[in-house]
Amino acid sequence: MSNQSSKYPIVCASFNQESSFFAIGTRDGFKIFDTNTGRLCYERDIGAFSIVEMLFSKSLLAIVGAGEQPSLSPRRLCLFNTMTGTALRELNFLTSILAVRLNMKRLVVVLQDKTYVYDLNSLAILDSIDTVPNLKGICAFSPSLDGCFLALPASTTKGSVLVYNVMELHSHCEIEAHRSPLAAIVLSSTGMYIATASEQGTIVRVHLVSEATKYCSFRRGTYQSTIFSLSFGPSMQVPELLIATGSSGSLHVFSLAVTLNQRSRRSSSFLGSMIPNSINDKLDHHHVLHNAFPAGVKSHAVIRKVGKVAESSTSEAIASRASISIITYSGYFQEYSFSINNQNESSWSLEREFNLLTVISESDKTID
């Protein structure tokens, strides 16, 4: 996730595919942190970077300069080895690189009106996708090799999504998600679900990728807000939670698991089967932490862990608990603990917060 605005000390921020590490790019270089401990694992002060993407916990990085130094062109992608501190390969393009995604077999490079798919090992071009103008580099990628999809905007006037099968190299489907252009997209880690938000920012919709059908909708609010990030909780099946951050400074949590259970109960009853989907969509579970970070500050959040909590007096699991990590482009890392009980009552706790720009590295060792 890159950001060219000069008002923020952080230019870009991203979590790795497992959310166990995260990287930030600044105007001085880039840093890699351990999400669990907050330890600064690696840093390199060689100039401004607009993109820093990790490959799980490997020593390979995909980095793109911000163009503030002649040697760090925004049109050049460098595959960098943190173990040796050297560039392995470089790819040059005619226009600026807006986003990069990768897994163990594929490398995806998003430009303004074209997206390239490479074999990661040989860097051979496997396919090129002509796209509508995508000035913000909006995209989503599921790293699973079994359900490896890429999502891109399919229209500049409405919220249509092109879903592309990255392993089989063909278009999978197109989803009509919103009436307004897209602002944010995310795929679940297995590629089963896709969540979208438009530039209006009032509705978050979830679709089932395999069938290109709407799964559910959540109302974030009634007033317009720019959605900065969307993230599903980690899961091999249906993610329990979906979160969103936006320009209002609020953190939103939507319960997918509760929505699924309610729909299953309604569909099994005679009355429930007669309720229109438009009414069902309003029966969602939405929890908000207001003023989680300063309003207007760009942010990137992920759900790292989701688990069940048992009541002390019984062995019955009555609550879900999630660890939510947030990077703000003003330079801070925050970790919240979110809990919800079976009465749909939620609670929040700020577990950690520290300045990403003042952390001192314990060593210059690589992460792997």
Q: Do 89 and 79 form a contact (C-beta atoms < 8 A)? A: yes
* CA proximity to 351, closest of 333, 328, 368: 333
Give the count of beta carbons closer than 10 Å to the beta carbon of residue 49. Answer: 27
Alpha helices in the chain (DSSP H): 256-267, 270-274, 277-280
Q: Give the separation between CA 293 and CA 291, rounded to whole angstroms.
A: 5
Q: Give the separation between CA 320 and CA 226, rounded to whole angstroms.
A: 28
pLDDT at 282: 45
Query: What spatial distance separates the first Cα and last Cα of the chain, rounded to whole Å?
Result: 23
95 to 92, 115, 343: CA distances (angstroms): 9, 11, 52
Q: What is the pLDDT of residues 204-247, one digit of tens each?
A: 999 999 999 998 999 998 899 999 999 999 987 778 899 999 99
> Left (φ > 0), alpha (ψ -120 to 50) or beta: where does 311 sit?
beta
Instruction: Look at residue 48 and tell me whether its pLDDT is greater than 80.
Output: yes
Instruction: Look at residue 307 and tell me whether its pLDDT is greater than 90.
Output: no
Average the pLDDT over 95-115 and give the result: 98
Give the count of beta carbons closer than 10 Å to the beta carbon of residue 254. Answer: 24
pTM, two decimal places: 0.90
Q: What backbone torsions phi and psi does residue 70 show, to the nearest 5 degrees?
A: -55, -30
Q: What is the pLDDT of residues 257-295, one digit of tens each?
A: 776 666 544 444 444 444 444 434 544 589 999 999 999
